[in-house]
Amino acid sequence: MKKIMTAMVFSSVLFLAALTGCEDQQQDPTPSQTVSPSQEQQPTVPPDEKTAGNPESQNSQESTPVQETSGTIDGLKVVANPDSVTVLVDKQYALPKNYEPQDLVYPNVPFIFQEKIEKRKLRKEAADALEKLFDGAKKDGISLAGVSGYRSYDRQTKLFESYVQRDGEAAAKMYSAVPGTSEHQTGLAIDVSGIDGKCAAESCFAGTPEADWLAKHAPEYGFIVRYPEDKVEITGYEYEPWHIRYVGVQLAKELAEKGQCLEEYYNAVPVSGAK
């Protein structure tokens, strides 16, 4: 009887030991068995599909600049940031009523006239850049002269009305801006010519060494030829190789590399009234 009781006790001890060992093994797995949430296998996603369903990621990668507005004037959108050097002013976007830049200066460059009058001025940043552009052209054997820079709303009104009387409104709108929509009023645009003034603001300026130099090198100084020959349907203006506009070096080079005009940059096409 004692032998039987001893055997039963011994068997019970073995059973409890085995059970305890199993519980310990479940509670304390070896390091090779430990898997943290960050180590769990995740589905593989191709790089180009990671943002396919994420609008915020797509917008951050392919954001389109926006031309901000603040109301309308005579059916035209009024720009909210007229002092920005990248502002778009055209047949759709007008400057605020009575807008006048507050930092107009006289750039130290030759003009085809001697008087210190309004159209000799530019905004300070554009004027400094123009001086560098003229110096750069001179180093390349190209002598430039200013023709017409800043133009007030009143001055643009008189010019536009005279063109309408001479050629009719439809024709005038192809080469002259309706008052309030002229880039010259921003103080960031200027018409230039050769130092002799020949073909100043005329179609014969196209193809001259001065025009060719501007088309190639103006972006290096922050300027663009604002109304290119291949963008007439977009800008709504005839080709003007003499009209350059300051937008800053970074944007000027970007537009040149992409072959874009400002309307395309802001996705503001087609321009109303281009035809």
Task: Please identify which residue in the block is written with the tokens 């008087």.
Answer: 115
What distance in Å separates the CA atoms of residue 194 and residue 156, rounded to the nearest whole number?
Answer: 24
What distance in Å separates the CA atoms of residue 133 and residue 122, rounded to the nearest whole number?
Answer: 14
DSSP letters, 120-173, are: G-EEHHHHHHHHHHHHHHHHTT--EEEEE----HHHHHHHHHHHHHHH-HHHHT
Cβ neighbours for 227, distance < 8 A, ≥ 6 positions apart: 235, 237, 238, 239, 240, 243, 261
What distance in Å separates the CA atoms of residue 244 and residue 146, rounded to the nearest whole number?
Answer: 11
Give the CA count within 13 Å in the CB-facing half-sphere of 60: 6
Query: End-to-end CA distance of the chain, in Å?
Result: 118
Choosing from 100, 169, 202, 240, the catalytic residue is: 240
**Beta-strand relationship, 189-194 and 69-73:** unpaired
Catalytic annotation present for 240: yes
What distance in Å separates the CA atoms of residue 241 and residue 202, rounded to the nearest whole number?
Answer: 9
Q: Are 107 and 130 in contact (CB under 8 A)?
A: yes
CB count, 10 Å around CB of 175? 15
Active-site annotation, residues:
240
